[in-house]
Structure 1
Amino acid sequence: MTLDDLYTLIASRKGADPATSWTAKLFAKGPEKCAEKFGEEAIEAIIEAVKGDKEKLTSEAADVIYHLLVMLAANDVSLDAVIAELARRQGTSGIAEKAAR
């Protein structure tokens, strides 16, 4: 499954019944809850990275990516928009890009 496939699947759950879909349940709780879940998963991934547990980090990284895409969809930000922003930054030094913000 590609990230685009996953984003499309996640976005399709926006109108689904929260009783039958975890993703729909997240959407029903609002963008703020989706952002909170993303943050929780990111912290869990950080913990596993620091501990050096590759298997658990892999699992947590999958959760981070899923919850990032849910958060984007909850805020009506397309994956294409994020990819376009990455493309815009390509060839620009990370230091220069940060300084321009």
Structure 2
Amino acid sequence: MDDLISARLHERIRRDFPEPDAARGVVGALRVLGVELEDSRQSTERLLAAAVVFAAGDVERFRLAVRLARADWRDLLMAGELGHEDWPRVLDAELGPQ
């Protein structure tokens, strides 16, 4: 397990993307995206989870989420419903408690 993607986010990826190749692709893309978004000074888990939540198990929607993040990470947070002050509660609801 790597530090960039939390255990609970890995579990959500496995649930949402049950096809092993799809899950590996999502994890690989998230690792790259996490590094690219380091300068945002936001919670990495929050940003990466927003992409997974927005995708809802659809690889094409996941690709769109990555494009959104690269254009403006704030758009990704809004699309993934993690862009408001209650984002810690929403994140726990989506991924389970830490």
| TM-score of the pair, normalised by structure 1 | 0.26
Q: Select the structure of larger CA radius of gyration.
A: 1
TM-score between both structures, scaled by the size of structure 2: 0.27
